[in-house]
Structure 1
Amino acid sequence: MSTSTTPSPTAATRRRNPLSAILRIPFGWQVLIGLVLGVVLGLVAAQMGPGTGEEGANWLTTTLDTIGTIFVTLLKALVPPLIFLAIVTSIANLRNVTNAARLAWKTLLWFAITALIAVSIGIALGMITSPGANTDIDRSAEGAAGTEGSWLDFLTGLVPSNFLGLSASAGDDGSVSLSFNALQILVISIAVGIAVLKVGDKAEPFLRFTGSALEIVQKLLWWVIRLAPIGTVGLLGNAVASYGWDAIGQLGVFTLDVYVGMLIVLLVVYPVLLKLNGLSIASFFRGVWPATSLGFVSRSSLGTMPMTQTVTERMGVPRHYASFAIPLGATTKMDGCAAIYPALAAIFVANFYGMPLGVTDYLLIVLVSVLGSSATAGMTGATVMLTLTLSTLGLPLEGVGLLLAIDPILDMGRTALNVTGQSLVGVIVAKREKILDQDAYDAARRTSFQAIQAEEAQDAAAEATEQSLEDAESAEGAQSAGSDAGEREKQPATA
């Protein structure tokens, strides 16, 4: 007798559903496909010429711009609550850490050390290659960046105008738009976190709320990040269509300098620091890979923060320390955005405008990079940090507009380096303080973004099942105790 097998309806449905087939493609490949598609569509849009829209953009350029804007807007919408919840929770977690003050200042010290090394490499590359000296870009195409980013703006911006750090502006059409000041939210978060430590046990209900809210916001971020391939199509496509591939190509020396500098830090400086601290280089890069790759495609240190913390914990860093170091690093540890990039960008703008830099100027670049990195606040892009650097040196802020064309390309590498450095400092400090699980670190294996998500989902399901069993046992115990009490009441009293 012969038997025949038929595929299950679920499997057949998956084969017929193109969306399921797309989702089975590895996330990294999805982003690479998005990059290629973005360049192709951008070139097509540039060839189509101006359209009939209000700003002269054709329908394809408008579509690409809309897609990219929506993706970035979704990320920005989640950043204010993420900054507040992550910083408050991370500071509050210090109450469970032995020698909390010691761990905190050592973490900040290593942030400064790695930033100093990174900015020095950026300055050295800029002095050797002189980016911007032979650039023939039409200066009439540059965009003015305004005066945002001066030291005075930076200092006054630290003072919160309201508890939420929000500001409103009215448009010409009567509409009102809200924006947030990440620095003010950071200051508010630090103050609240310290207040929680001072209040003590009475703050436990508030901490349970913030911890639960942080989990919800992080889940929402995962959903947004899954849209990164589509967002990449819009962001890169619009850059190519708006500025033209030739204009972007003329900034090749600067782009190459930035990536060479980041690769030196990633593949030379970080391995040396790991070796000096007795840590395996291969184990670190295997373990940190999911965060590095996700940072490359998401272009947001805060958006990648949940993954960065996860991989850092998987490499043996205790959760109570990782939950402090990684959120702090996501807002202040920026080897790419706040060290290499602004140093090279300042040299590029100075060369472009024929304004030579002196020794004092280079020292100011170092000072700004080491002390001013919190101005980036973990968001996509480093425009605030760049304008802060240019204004400190007295360079034209209009130079920022020249670099915006290639910012999406640069920001991918910058963010990847940022999140890798954040995890590196966590591992090094844990090792030096003898709280690193060496066996877990040595056993770190390379895995994927999807695999970690699947493991976390399984762990969450297992915890939920275990909790359900415990609740059921408790209910059975209570019911049994009630039955025994009832039986005793029914028994006749004896003298």
Structure 2
Amino acid sequence: MVLFNLLVIVLIFAFLFYLERKGVSFGKRILFALVIGIIIGAVYQGSYGIDSPVVKGTLSWLNIVGTGYIRMLMLIVIPLVLVSITSSILQIKDMKTFRTTGILIIGILLFTTVIAASVGAASALGYHLSAVGMPAGDSEIIAGQNIETKLDTFQKKSVQEQLIEIIPTNVFYAFTGQHSADTLSVVFIAILIGISILKIRQYKPETAEFLEKVILASQDIIMEIVDLILRITPYGILSLIVKFIATSDISSILKLVSFVAASYTAIIVMFVIHLLLLALVRYNPLHYINEAFPVLSFAFMSRTSAGTLPLTVSALESKMGVSKGIANLAASFGISIGQNGCAGVYPAMLAVMIAPTVGIDPFTLPFLLKLVFVTALGSLGIAGVGGGATFAALVVLSTMGLPVGLVGLLIAVEPLIDMGRTALNVSDAMVTAVITEKLTTKV
């Protein structure tokens, strides 16, 4: 029966490949993999039982795809963070601009991300989300082989000590990702590199131009790898959801439904907060809703912040009275910095949900403060490509010393919430642009 089950899976994989060759959209293939995975997992559990040798034998082979997919996601985190943050800083034309408008825009984006992370954590706590009892994956999809050591370190060290550890003493060791603060260390390194190149522009423009080409070329390579990983997402989702459904009880499965509800609750709350922030700078929220609705609708349906960029800039300039420079800077930064949905709400919810599985109480103030801080800084490295929320979650969870296996599992329900998250990301960029315009005009 194991061979028969594997043959069926291979045929489904082949059909997914056929759909891709025929140009079927990524979202539809993800949805197909999700539905088929649920059906197969339910059949396995109903026909054989959770502890059946047939199920275990089948899943042991299927884990090669699911676990391999998670490991590839983890593989790309560090280089993605490095090139995304550095290239984002290089979009700034000079240091003077960076010190004024650029810093203000980045500050607002990070400020709203702090709020989004707080809202996400509160929503997860309010819905009593917990990963306890849910299969979190095998040891190979845990963030490192020493999670117990990381947990002890997290509990024993003060917040001040953990902040100091963000500054690495060895660049190459930071790139290995062996320490719980290494991801933030890479963020720190990327910021240093970006600012240094901006300063070099002022007295050695030829050198700065060469360095920028190196960074952009590296980004092209990383984005190609990201694209390759995302292309196998349907196969990874199918494998992960089959294992989840086949080995979980009904109460665990219902936790995914609660996660979707909690996600949209947080997203709606953040939209309301955006409107309140606009009201604080005396910008009519109703006017914003009217002018932003077409852009947000496109973002919702397309699920791409980067693809919405031209519409975002156009609406800011022609409909909302934002100057060209601020509109372009805020919209461009908003693609990879402070994404409220993908890099704020989502990682914070996952962290709160997963923390109890390693004995951390998510209701404690030190945990929540560190989570909000880590989420805000981690949002600096999230590129505006498909799967950005997954990478944001990996960054935050690995930095917090939490297991990352559940990230792959929850990818299965991402199509249900990614539309709302993307619209929230775009709204954040637009609100930031309007607020920056208002504040700089007053000055």
Q: Do the two structures share a fold, i.e. TM-score over 0.5? A: yes
- 1:193-232 maps to which residues of 2 (within 5 A)? 193-200=194-201, 201=205, 202-232=207-237
Q: Determine helix, strand or coil for the equivalent of 2:186.
A: helix
Q: Is 1:183 aligned with 2:184? A: yes
Counterpart CA distance in 2 for 1:156 and 1:165 is 11
Give the letter aligned to residue 431 of structure 1.
Answer: V
**1:159 counterpart (159, 162, 168):** 168
Q: Determine helix, strand or coil for the equivalent of 2:176.
A: strand
Corresponding residue for 1:241? 246
**2:430 counterpart (427, 431, 452):** 427
Q: Is 1:288 aligned with 2:299? A: yes
Give the letter aligned to residue 248 of structure 1.
Answer: S
| Higher-helix-fraction structure | 2
1:34 is displaced (CA, Å) by: 0.5
Corresponding residue for 1:312? 309
**1:372 counterpart (347, 363, 374):** 374
Corresponding residue for 2:338? 329
Q: Determine helix, strand or coil for the equivalent of 2:200.
A: helix
Instruction: Give the greater-gyration-radius structure (CA).
Output: 1
Confirm or deny: 8 A CA contact 1:148 1:384 kept in the other structure.
Answer: no
Are residues 289 and 164 of structure 1, via their aligned partners in 2, closer, same or farther at CA, if it must alter by over 3 Å?
farther
- 1:84-483 maps to which residues of 2 (within 5 A)? 84-96=82-94, 99-101=97-99, 102-116=101-115, 119-120=118-119, 122-123=121-122, 126-127=125-126, 130=128, 145-148=147-150, 150=154, 151=159, 152=161, 155-159=164-168, 161-163=170-172, 165-167=174-176, 181-200=182-201, 201=205, 202-242=207-247, 244-249=248-253, 251=255, 255=259, 258-265=262-269, 268-270=272-274, 276=285, 278-279=287-288, 280-289=291-300, 292=303, 307-316=304-313, 319-329=328-338, 334-343=343-352, 349=356, 361=364, 364=366, 367-373=369-375, 374-375=377-378, 378=382, 379-380=390-391, 382=393, 385=396, 407-409=410-412, 419-434=422-437
Confirm or deny: 8 A CA contact 2:276 2:285 kept in the other structure.
Answer: yes
Are residues 235 and 199 of structure 1, via their aligned partners in 2, closer, same or farther at CA, if it must alter by over 3 Å?
same
Corresponding residue for 1:6? none
1:260 is displaced (CA, Å) by: 4.3
Q: Determine helix, strand or coil for the equivalent of 1:94.
A: coil
Counterpart CA distance in 2 for 1:112 and 1:69 is 35
Are residues 100 and 116 of structure 1, via their aligned partners in 2, closer, same or farther at CA, if it must alter by over 3 Å?
same
Confirm or deny: 8 A CA contact 2:342 2:425 kept in the other structure.
Answer: yes
If asked which structure has higher relative contact order (CA below 8 Å, sep 6+), I would say: 2
Counterpart CA distance in 2 for 1:213 and 1:405 is 26
Per-residue Cα deviation, 1:41-86 (whole angstroms, up to 9, x for no partner) = 323444446577xxx9634212332212233333333333332222
1:32 is displaced (CA, Å) by: 0.7
Give the RMSD, CA atoms, in angstroms.
4.7
Counterpart CA distance in 2 for 1:114 and 1:167 is 27
Are residues 85 and 260 of structure 1, via their aligned partners in 2, closer, same or farther at CA, if it must alter by over 3 Å?
closer
Confirm or deny: 8 A CA contact 1:89 1:211 kept in the other structure.
Answer: yes
Structure 1 unaligned segments of length 5 or more: list them: 1-17, 170-177, 293-306, 392-396, 436-495
1:252 is displaced (CA, Å) by: 6.0
Confirm or deny: 8 A CA contact 1:85 1:214 kept in the other structure.
Answer: yes
Counterpart CA distance in 1 for 2:180 and 2:57 is 28
Structure 2 unaligned segments of length 5 or more: list them: 1-16, 279-283, 317-326, 383-389, 439-443
Confirm or deny: 8 A CA contact 1:119 1:343 kept in the other structure.
Answer: no
Give the letter aligned to residue 80 of structure 1.
Answer: I
Confirm or deny: 8 A CA contact 1:85 1:213 kept in the other structure.
Answer: yes
Counterpart CA distance in 2 for 1:93 and 1:41 is 47
Are residues 164 and 62 of structure 1, via their aligned partners in 2, closer, same or farther at CA, if it must alter by over 3 Å?
same
Give the letter aligned to residue 293 of structure 2.
Answer: A
Are residues 430 and 190 of structure 1, via their aligned partners in 2, closer, same or farther at CA, if it must alter by over 3 Å?
same
Q: Determine helix, strand or coil for the equivalent of 1:95.
A: coil
Aligned residues: 374
1:204 is displaced (CA, Å) by: 1.1
Counterpart CA distance in 1 for 2:361 and 2:181 is 34
Are residues 382 and 205 of structure 1, via their aligned partners in 2, closer, same or farther at CA, if it must alter by over 3 Å?
closer
1:205 is displaced (CA, Å) by: 0.8
Counterpart CA distance in 2 for 1:96 and 1:333 is 29
1:233 is displaced (CA, Å) by: 0.6
Q: Determine helix, strand or coil for the equivalent of 1:159.
A: coil
Confirm or deny: 8 A CA contact 1:50 1:58 kept in the other structure.
Answer: yes
Between 256-265 and 266-275, report the one with greater CA deviation.
266-275
Confirm or deny: 8 A CA contact 2:41 2:244 kept in the other structure.
Answer: yes
Per-residue Cα deviation, 1:404-456 (whole angstroms, up to 9, x for no partner) = 79644566667666554443332222233449xxxxxxxxxxxxxxxxxxxxx
Per-residue Cα deviation, 1:136-170 (whole angstroms, up to 9, x for no partner) = 9599x99995243625556525415334733398x
Confirm or deny: 8 A CA contact 2:378 2:395 kept in the other structure.
Answer: yes
1:266 is displaced (CA, Å) by: 6.0
